Structures are given as C-alpha cells and as structure tokens.
C-alpha cells in the first residue's frame, strides 16, 4: 500500500503543478514540482519511505524521456551545430570536472581529489526538462536552442562515464588515465553503434510484421514504448553507454514508416498523443521525486556538528560559481569562434548575451542527483566513503541554485518570448498556408454546389468554415473584423425590425422583444471581441432606450397576440432576408475578408432555410447525410490537391506537407469507419 500511496501522491502533485504553473507563470514548472516534492517528503516522513534507486531511475525515467527528446529533435540543426554540441557535451564536462575537483579538494582536504572529481562529473549533465520548460518563457535564438538540445542529449553519457571513473579511483585508490580513456571511447562509440544497430533492427522487424498484414495501432505504439527500455538494458548488458544508445535510437526514429496512408497517419497521431501523456507524467514525477530526496540528502550534513552551516552554504556558492563561471567562459569562446570563423562577423554584445543565456540555461536536475546517490557507502577496504553526505549536500545545493538562476535570471538576460520569434513566425506561416488551403476548398465547394446537393454542401462548407476559424485562431490572426461584421449584421436586423414595427407590419410586443434579444447578442459579441469603441457605446445606449420603451409598452394593456410565435418567425425571416441581401452586396468589397463574409452568409442562409422549411422526414434526413459524406470526400480530395500545390510552389516544406496530409488521411479514415 505504501507504493500505491506514493504513486498517487506523485500523480496528484504533478496535476497540482500543472494548475500552479498557470497561476504562477513566472516560476518555472520544474521548480514548482521540486517544491511540491519537498512538501511531500516533509509531511510523509515516518509514514512513507521514499527511496530513489539510481539504476532503476535511469531506466524507468531518464531513458524514455531522452528517447522522446531525441525523436522530436531537429536532426538537421543537430548536425549543423555538431561541433559546439560535442564541445559542450564532452569537452566542457571534462574541464568542469577537473576545475571543480582541484579547487574543492584544495579548499576542503577532507574531500579526496577523486571524490571531488566525482562531484564535478555529476554536475556535468544538464537537465532536459528544465531546459525545455525555459523555452516556453524566453526567446532563445535558434542556433543556441539547437546547441542546448543537442548538449542535453549527449552530456548525460559523458558525465556518467567520467563519474564512474572517478568513483572507481576513489573506492580503489588507483587510477589509470589510459584505461579511463579507452573505456570512455568504448562506451561512447559502442553506444552510438549499438543504438543505430538496434534502431535499424527494429525497423526491419516492423517491416516484416507489416508484410504479413499486421497493422494494429495498439501493437505498433506498444512496440515503440518498449524501445527505450530494451535499448538501455541491452546496451548496459554489453558494457556500452545505455544513454547514448537510447538517444541514437530516438534520432534514427525508425518506428514511423516512410509510406503515407490513413492508417499510418492514425498510428502517428495516436503514438504522438500517447508519448505526450507519458512525457508529461514522467517529467513531472522526475522533479517531484527530486524534491522528495533533497530534505533527506541535505539533512545529515546540515545536522553535522563538525562543519558549520555557513561553511556548507559557502561551499555550495563556490561550486555554483565555478560551475557557471567555467560554462560561461566556454560559451563565450564558442560564440567568438562562431562569429569569426563561421559567420565572418564581429563578436558583439548580442553574442555575449547569447553566451550568458546558454550558460544559465544549463540547469542541473535529477540525473545529477541520481548519479550522486550511486556513490558507495563503503570503500573496497571496508571503510566508509569519506564526506559522502557532504558531496551529496553540495550537489543538491547546486541543483537548487541552477534551477533558481534558470527560472529568474534567464528571463532577464534573454528577451521574453514574443510573437516575432522564429518559432512563432514558422507556426504562423504553417497556419496561414493551411488557412489559404481551406479558403480555396470553400471557394471550390461554393462554386460546385447545385440545387439537389445544396443542403449537404452547406453542411460541409460549415465544417470547413469552423476549421478555418480555428486555424486563424491558432495562427494568432486578428478576429476583430469578424466581430465587427457580426455586430454590423445584428444592427441591420435591429434597424429592419424597427422599420417593420413603425410601419405596423409587426406588433410592438413581438418587435421590441426581438430587438431586445438582438441587442443582448450584440453586446455579448462586442464584449467577447474585447473592443470598447464609440460605436459599441452607441449600441449599448440604443439598446437601453429600446428596453425602456419595451418595458413601458408592457404596462399598457393591449390585444393578446394568439399567434406571437408565428409572427416572431415571420419577423426573423424578414430580417434575415435583409441581412443576406446586404452581405451579398459586401462580397465585392476589397476591404472585407471574403471568408468572413462567406462564413456569415452561409450561417444566415442556413438559418433562413431552417425557418422556412418544415422538419424533414426520416428518408430525407438519410439522403442528406449520404450527400454530405460524398461532399466531404470531394472536399478532402480538393484539400489534398491544394496541399500538393502549396508544396510544389515552395510555400510549405516536406514536413509541413506531410503533417497536413496526415490530418486529411485521418479525417478520411474517420469518415470511412462510420460507414
């Protein structure tokens, strides 16, 4: 029951952190989750034993998280920045280990040189979750962001290997640089080769399975979920780096086949959804677990009377300064070389800020803590490992310091994420192209509609109008013009209804009731549009006058209307006919977006048709449904043709075209499944 209770506590903490992240946007999600973990550790002390087994932690959490990071990584950017990435992932890890090791041993002789090297190596890996969460808050340049993503994929392996060598030297008292270098090369290169081999072997297996007719989505998704665990455990069993093997398997990304079809599109979408849930849960649990371990890890050293608490805090600050200082100098040199040798430009203040942003984004996290927990309690001689609790205390303190720096200092150094960043522009370009495709389909359907399929075609056009509105919203398009157009149509209805009332065609009770209803709809629409204009004020005042007039009329005894419902129906038909005529006249106006007028026109025509006709029979309903399905198939074919045209014109790249096609294939499959 303790394990079940702990799992529930972790899951609840992750859910609470997701809500808190919205309420406290200035605090990064990992820091919130660490805080919740500390709270769980404090209140659960004595009731639930929270132990972190490093080997199980690496295979259960780190392996799948690195796999999905590698799978979603931009391979072209990683290859383009391979030099800086390898320098950070290998060179910086080794330099950091040496600087922290020599300095810490010189200041604190109680910590052996090998143990100090172990701490420096453990502080080498950056945390993938912390770095990813930062990208949602600040605008990190594309090159620097690509370097950070590549670094976090590779430096885990180099940090772990260096740590293992340092611990072996501390535990046995002997160290051979030649043997260490040889082992490092074997583990690193062996991990690369093994990951690629397993990846392509999985690809071969999946091809054979498809050849015999097995296209089960459940099977393929479960197969992919097992990949990182199998690769990690198999790599460790032959003594090569499991982390590197998992990353390479993710980069190979052999699960998705090269062919495109509705079933493949559905499989890719389901796989993506499953991995999103897994990634969200594991990312959250990782940092909550980190928070649960910090109080216990730091308790022994804090209560140790042989060393003052001030000294402990000073050591944490010193190691943090050494860590970040070394990283900053390395990043400055890296930016300097890039400016002079690659970009053929000057090293500017902006380059310095980029180097500082990359430095502070190198937050440490759960991998560092899990590595530190592998420090043995006893040496090979049987004696206790010297200063084990002190090393873990310093490591935990540095983790917290780097998370705080990444959360509160990086947003000051790097510009806040704005709508002008490359990522947002690429996103906008994607949705703008998709909006153009949907507009073209709507125009084609409108041109091809006939009297016998008018209702079915309008239904499909309405579906595409909704998709277009959603696409414009996701692209961040301004919907002010759409709101103003709707309000204008409501004003036309009110004015026409008032004319009919004044002419005596419609009774005062029905007329002013309908006008009041339209006024409330208009006021709500203007409020949702977020605009406070003189026109909106005038509309509100006019509505207030109409409401007062209606209230006065209710006080005057009048003839009871027995056919009020029928009269209201006739009034709606008259006002809608007037609006339809006005919208038809607006279509040729160049200052109004065609899709906005078309969308509103279709809505009014559909409502007008519904007001005029009687409820259809069951046979007619089935006939309309069949026609609607045929029109939808035609629309999907038109959409696929427009996607291909966009790709041939160079407006979208291959990846964007594939994503759009996959969505259409999925909708086609959904339509076929209902038949």
Instruction: Give the model's pLDDT for residue 421.
Output: 47
More confident residue, 262 or 518: 518
pLDDT digits over 131-166, tens only? 666 555 566 777 888 888 888 877 777 788 788 788
Domain boundary among 557, 589, 610: 610
Q: Give yes or no for residue 181 having a pLDDT over 60.
A: yes
Q: How confident is the model over 651-659, as a mean pLDDT?
A: 76
In a domain? residue 467: no
What proportions of the chain, in percent to the nearest 5, are helix, strand and coil?
80, 0, 20
Where does the pLDDT of residue 316 fall: very low under 50, low under 70, confident under 90, or very high at 90 and above? very high
Helical axes 113-122 vs 142-172, angle rounded to 10° = 150
Instruction: Give the model's pLDDT for residue 137.
Output: 57
More confident residue, 43 or 316: 316
Q: Give yes or no for residue 46 having a pLDDT over 70.
A: no
Domain boundary among 610, 629, 650: 610
Which 8-state DSSP code applies to residue 342?
I
In a domain? residue 81: yes
In this predicted structure, which of 39-48, 499-508, 549-558 has the lowest mean pLDDT? 549-558
In a domain? residue 472: no
Where does the pLDDT of residue 620 fall: very low under 50, low under 70, confident under 90, or very high at 90 and above? very low
- The CATH number of whichever domain residue 128 belongs to comes to 1.20.1530.20
In a domain? residue 469: no
Percent of the chain at pLDDT > 70 equals 77
Do 354 and 497 belong together in one domain? no
Instruction: Give the model's pLDDT for residue 561.
Output: 43
Percent of the chain at pLDDT > 90 equals 8
433, burial (CB in 10 Å: exposed 0-12, middle 13-18, buried 19+): buried
In a domain? residue 483: yes
Task: Please enumerate, as own/partner, the contacts of 657-662 that have beta carbons within 8 Å and a separation of 24 or more.
Answer: 658/260, 660/434, 660/437, 661/260, 661/265, 662/260, 662/264, 662/265, 662/268, 662/269
Do 432 and 493 belong together in one domain? no
In sign, the C-alpha dihedral spanning 345, 135, 127, 295 is positive
Where does the pLDDT of residue 324 fall: very low under 50, low under 70, confident under 90, or very high at 90 and above? very high
CB contact at 8 A, 64 and 132: no
Instruction: Give the model's pLDDT for residue 474.
Output: 63
pLDDT digits over 524-557, tens only? 666 544 444 455 555 556 556 655 655 555 554 4
Most confident of 311-320, 516-525, 619-628: 311-320
In a domain? residue 487: yes
Do 541 and 588 belong together in one domain? yes
Do 624 and 545 belong together in one domain? no
Do 112 and 203 belong together in one domain? yes
In a domain? residue 262: yes
Do 117 and 253 belong together in one domain? yes
Q: Give yes or no for residue 175 having a pLDDT over 70.
A: no
Domain boundary among 366, 394, 417: 417
| Domain, as residue range, for 653 | 418-457+614-675
Most confident of 309-318, 474-483, 595-604, 664-673: 309-318
Do 59 and 17 belong together in one domain? yes
In a domain? residue 138: yes
Do 158 and 19 belong together in one domain? yes
Q: Structurally, how many domains does the chain consist of?
A: 3
Helices then strands, counting H and E runs in the chain, come out as 28, 0
Do 637 and 598 belong together in one domain? no
Do 570 and 447 belong together in one domain? no
pTM: 0.61
Q: Give yes or no for residue 215 having a pLDDT over 80.
A: no
Do 407 and 510 belong together in one domain? no
Where does the pLDDT of residue 97 fall: very low under 50, low under 70, confident under 90, or very high at 90 and above? very high
Q: Give yes or no for residue 617 having a pLDDT over 80.
A: no
Q: What is the mean pLDDT of the chain?
A: 77
- Alpha-carbon distance 578 to 492, whole Å? 8
Where does the pLDDT of residue 625 fall: very low under 50, low under 70, confident under 90, or very high at 90 and above? low
CB contact at 8 A, 438 and 467: yes
Do 340 and 255 belong together in one domain? yes
More confident residue, 103 or 58: 103
């Amino acid at each position: 029951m303790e394990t079940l209770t702990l799992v529930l506590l972790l899951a609840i903490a992750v859910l609470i952190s997701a809500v808190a992240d919205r309420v406290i946007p200035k605090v990064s999600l990992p820091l919130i989750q660490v805080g919740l973990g500390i709270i769980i550790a404090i209140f659960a002390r004595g009731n639930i034993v929270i132990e972190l087994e490093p080997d199980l932690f690496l295979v259960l959490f780190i392996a799948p998280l690195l796999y999905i990071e590698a799978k979603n990584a931009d391979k072209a950017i990683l290859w383009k920045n391979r030099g800086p990435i390898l320098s950070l992932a290998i060179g910086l890890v080794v330099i950091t280990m040496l600087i922290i090791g020599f300095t810490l041993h010189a200041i604190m002789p109680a910590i052996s040189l090998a143990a100090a090297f172990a701490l420096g190596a453990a502080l080498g890996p950056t945390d993938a979750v912390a770095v990813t969460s930062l990208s949602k808050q600040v605008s990190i340049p594309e090159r620097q962001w690509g370097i950070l993503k590549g670094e976090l994929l590779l430096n885990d392996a180099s940090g772990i290997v260096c740590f293992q060598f340092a611990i072996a030297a501390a535990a046995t008292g002997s160290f051979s640089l030649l043997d260490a270098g040889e082992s490092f090369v074997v583990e690193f290169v062996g991990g690369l080769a093994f990951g690629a081999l397993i990846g392509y072997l999985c690809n071969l297996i999946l091809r054979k399975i498809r050849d015999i007719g097995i296209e089960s989505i459940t099977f393929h998704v479960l197969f992919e979920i097992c990949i990182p665990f199998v690769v990690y455990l198999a790599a460790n069993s032959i003594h090569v780096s499991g982390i590197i093997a998992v990353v390479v398997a993710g980069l190979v990304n052999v699960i998705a086949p090269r062919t495109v079809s509705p079933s493949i599109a559905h499989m890719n979408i389901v796989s993506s959804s499953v991995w999103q849930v897994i990634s969200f849960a594991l990312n959250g649990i990782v940092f909550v677990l980190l928070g649960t371990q910090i109080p216990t890890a730091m308790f022994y050293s804090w209560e140790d009377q042989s060393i003052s608490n001030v000294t402990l805090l000073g050591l944490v600050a010193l190691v943090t300064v050494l860590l970040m200082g070394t990283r900053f100098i390395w990043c400055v040199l890296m930016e300097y070389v890039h400016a002079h040798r690659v970009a053929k430009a000057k090293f500017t203040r902006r380059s310095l800020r980029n180097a500082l942003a990359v430095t502070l984004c190198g937050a440490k996290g759960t991998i560092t803590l899990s590595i530190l927990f592998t420090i043995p309690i006893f040496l090979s001689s049987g004696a206790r490992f010297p200063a084990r609790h002190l090393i873990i205390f310093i490591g935990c303190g540095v983790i917290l310091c780097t998370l705080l720096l990444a959360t509160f200092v990086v947003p000051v150094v790097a510009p806040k994420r704005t709508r002008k960043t490359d990522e947002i522009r690429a996103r906008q370009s994607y949705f703008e192209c998709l909006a153009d495709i949907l507009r073209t389909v709507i125009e084609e359907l409108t041109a091809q509609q006939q009297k016998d399929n008018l209702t079915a075609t309008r239904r499909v056009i309405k579906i595409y109008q909704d998709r277009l509105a959603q696409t414009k919203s996701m692209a961040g398009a301004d919907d002010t013009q759409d709101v103003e157009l709707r309000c204008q149509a409501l004003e036309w209805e009110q004015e026409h209804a008032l004319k009919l009332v004044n002419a005596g065609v419609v009774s005062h009770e029905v007329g002013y009731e309908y006008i009041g209803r339209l006024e409330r709809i208009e006021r709500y629409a203007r409020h949702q549009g977020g605009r406070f204009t003189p026109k909106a004020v005038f509309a509100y005042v006019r509505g207030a006058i109409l409401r007062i007039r209606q209230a006065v009329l209710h006080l005057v005894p009048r003839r009871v209307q027995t056919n009020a419902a029928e009269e209201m129906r006739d009034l709606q038909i008259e006002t809608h006919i007037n609006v339809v005529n006005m919208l038809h006249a607006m279509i040729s106006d160049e200052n109004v977006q065609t899709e906005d007028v078309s969308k509103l026109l279709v809505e009014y025509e559909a409502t007008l048709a519904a007001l005029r006709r009687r409820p259809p029979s069951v046979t007619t309903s089935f006939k309309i449904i069949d026609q609607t399905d045929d029109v939808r198939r035609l629309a999907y074919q038109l959409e696929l043709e427009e996607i291909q045209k966009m790709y041939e014109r160079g407006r979208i790249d291959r990846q964007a075209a594939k994503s759009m096609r996959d969505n259409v294939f999925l909708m086609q499959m959904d339509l076929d499944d209902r038949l």
